[in-house]
Chains A and B, each alone.
Chain A
């Protein structure tokens, strides 16, 4: 009933053939697929992590840039304010100077006008006096002598009186 014969060897060979067949036909594709999938998942996870890292880095960079920009903006505003203040001060100064100058010019003008009018007045007084004197003492003295006399008189007046004349 129990008989060991060459069947034993045949069965071992049959089984080994089956192992090879199954390995090639079934096991390999499945295990390759599983490997492929776990590799794909690993790749996806790695990529996601890398992306997240990159995003975080970018965020940090942007924050730094934003802070920088804020500081710069503050600086620019301050600078602009300073420039405006300086300009304002300069303008005020220039205006003041101009006013001073205008005042001086006006004073000069006034002085000149006063002198001009004084000279004119003196001339008129001379001619009026001449005319009057001429009528009073015509023929007595020649015109030249008369004029000299009157001028002398008026000059003395100039020195004593005209200086106090208010215009």
Chain B
């Protein structure tokens, strides 16, 4: 029986790893890579069939990046597209029975959120130098406290929003089936919730990606 919240761990090189999360992540990675490779094999200058669809996505993504992150954003396009595909696949894979979302583990979401935030600060320092540090003291020096809270809140909200939604979705799937003696009566609520979870999975993949883009955009854009 699946115990909610209890994770099997593996010790390796003196470090503790959540076995299921790591395995599911590898599975997700494999799926993403296979889908991507299938999508981009046999590319032609004159597009046909599903190549049109992929190009629409890439062009749309470039448009989003250009408008949100400016010209420098293009170099982060692979990062953004990978983030989205990874999150989408991770969120959805948990809806398949016996599989779990890597994103139902705070380690994953917080890891990604911290990665984004670290990138934001590194890129901000690299491109804006002193201006980047100065902007924490805007509009006047004491605001540094509020700005720091905001900067710390960014990864935390990013991580917990995704983690909470996905974990809650998976928990409710299990809970709904255990509410009554005869699981048959729970078919309709279960299916409805499953459908809603699919929607939630997509929405949170988009939210996480969009917020990351917005944070990164602040660091990359010349605001003056």
Contact between A26 and B40, CB atoms less than 8 A apart: yes
Closest B residue by C-beta to A12: B111
| Alpha-carbon distance A149/B62, docked complex (angstroms) | 149
Q: A14-B26, A22-B33, A25-B40 are in contact. Are A7 and B54 (CB under 8 A)?
A: no
Q: Number of A residues contacting the other chain (C-beta, 8 Å)?
A: 33
B residues 33-47 with Cβ under 8 Å of A?
A: 33, 36-37, 39-40, 43-45
Contacts of B29 in A (CB 8 A): 14, 17-18, 21
A residues 27-59 with Cβ under 8 Å of B?
A: 27-31, 33-34, 36-37, 40
Contacts of B86 in A (CB 8 A): 15, 18
Contact between A22 and B15, CB atoms less than 8 A apart: no
Contacts of A6 in B (CB 8 A): 15-17
Main SS at interface, chain B: helix
Closest B residue by C-beta to A21: B33
Contacts of A12 in B (CB 8 A): 111-112, 114-115
| Alpha-carbon distance A25/B82, docked complex (angstroms) | 12
| Alpha-carbon distance A34/B57, docked complex (angstroms) | 12
Main SS at interface, chain A: helix
Interface, chain B (partner A; CB < 8 A)? 4-7, 9, 15-18, 21-22, 25-26, 29, 32-33, 36-37, 39-40, 43-45, 54-55, 58-59, 77-79, 81-83, 85-86, 102, 105-108, 110-112, 114-115
Interface, chain A (partner B; CB < 8 A)? 1-12, 14-19, 21-23, 25-31, 33-34, 36-37, 40
